[in-house]
Amino acid sequence: MKNLIRYVLQLLLLLSVTVVTAQNQSADYNRLSAATKNAFSVAERQYTYKIETKYADNNTAGGNNSSSSSSGTSSVSGNYSAYPAINVNKRRLEQQAAAGARQEARIISFETKMKRVDELIKSRNLQRTPENHAALLKAALEGGLNAYEASRFFGNSPQEYRTMLLSKNAADYSWSGGVKGDCQNDCIENLTSPYGFTYKGNTKYGKPHGKGVMIGEKATYTGDFLAGEPNGQVEIRWNSGSVFTGTSFNGELIKGTLNRSGLNFKGTFLNGSYYRGLMKVDGMEILGEFDSKPSLVYGMNAYSNGDTTHGFYSGKEGTATYYQLKVYKAGLKEEEIFDNNQTVGDVRYYIGGQVFYTLPYSENRRLGFLINADSTAYYAYLLTDVNKISPIQNLTQEQLLMLKEKMETFINEVQRRREEYREKMELVYDAIR
């Protein structure tokens, strides 16, 4: 048992990091939120674009480079009513409020249920032990959790719950020294454990319960205790100087700040690893969801040179997958969607205000739809070998309709994936707030 506890503490030590002040974290969050809003501001403009038709005798500039795009015509004359318009729909604007309301309702509902479960456990004087598994499970279900949610906290059987407790360092410390049944408020007892722990604080039935300080061979726990375990608001200081401040459940890190030399993290934790939040490492700020490696699953990378990326990623190298928006300090932006790790299409946002949607077409050409700052637009090829934009001339009504359908499908898919990313990031923002 002693070796197990030491092993778990060593695992936590590997993850541990020192506290970043709440003021700095709040400033970081506000700054990164503003950067995110700015990154998507151009991408989310909503228009119905009238299509300009180009003819061979028109002024058709040879094209533009990536740093300053221009259609070659500063204004467009003529009647466009005969030509099909591209509708860049209002999916995000129409769905954002509903998605936000749904997410807020989910959070409030879950927090309410967890509070009710905790109250039931306390009112029934239940200790979180395998022997009380059936009663704990009953309290969880009566509190409003479904069977799956209840099993995540208490397991499907006493044996599974025992394994969960052991893995979370919630084993019985075999405390001794307690003589009072319920020692709270100004009542203080001193307990000792054969596994190298001491405790000073409130107790119940000879176990840490209430406010207190637990000191082990590797770390000191200060804060709330329940049924012998750190539960609630705690501070954990490792002898190495690393610190965690936040909430815990049966000794497991749930939400708070962790810091070690060269790395800071604030957010939520899952199975002893970083989950959702803000990480600072190697001069970068990473705001998103992480896997157990830890690698970024989705989120924002803010680089020291002022560039940012937003999207979904895989692997330690952070390979973009599914959706990504790149924002360069100079003002250029590029949005891409991926299928099977291949680019399906991209959107380029130029400094002059033009937006250029492009799709694969041939080896050295991409089919594009260029939107001017005045909301007029036309179809064009991006000549990739010379990085030039060339208008497509003399299109028939049938060709225009075909291109319209192709582009609207692509534009809608870009917006759908963008919305999916933005909705997922709301979970990360909740972890930071």
pLDDT tens for residues 229-255?
Answer: 888 899 999 898 889 999 988 778 889
User: Global pTM?
Assistant: 0.66
Q: If you average pLDDT over every residue of the chain, what do you get?
A: 78
Query: pLDDT digits over 42-95, tens only?
Result: 554 444 555 555 555 433 333 333 333 333 332 223 333 344 555 554 454 455
Would you state the pLDDT for residue 161?
A: 82
Would you state the pLDDT for residue 86?
A: 53
Instruction: Please give the residue that has the higher pLDDT: either 350 or 102.
Output: 350
**How close are the terminal C-alpha atoms of the chain, in Å?**
37
What the block records as the tokens of 110 is 């879950």
The 8 Å CB, 24+ separation contacts for 155-161 are 157/133, 158/130, 158/131, 158/133, 158/134, 159/130, 161/130, 161/133, 161/136
Across 404-430, average pLDDT = 89
Closest CA to 431 of 294, 303, 286, 304: 286
One DSSP character per residue, 263-309 reads EEEEEEEETTEEEEEEEEETTEEEEEEE-SS--EEEEEEE-TTS-EE
Would you state the pLDDT for residue 8?
A: 34
Strand segments (E) across 196-272: 198-204, 207-215, 219-226, 229-238, 243-249, 252-260, 263-270
Q: 294 — phi, psi (to 5°)?
A: -95, 140
What the block records as the tokens of 285 is 């700020």
Would you state the pLDDT for residue 160?
A: 83
> Would the CA dihedral through 251, 257, 263, 269 be positive or negative?
positive
3-state secondary structure 335-401: EEEEECCEEEEEEEECCCCCEEEEEEEECCEEEEEEECCCCEEEEEEEECCCCEEEECECCCHHHHH
CA 70, chain centre distance (Å): 36
pLDDT above 50: residue 310:
yes
Distance (Å) of CA 199 to CA 34, 189, 227, 236: 45, 8, 13, 14
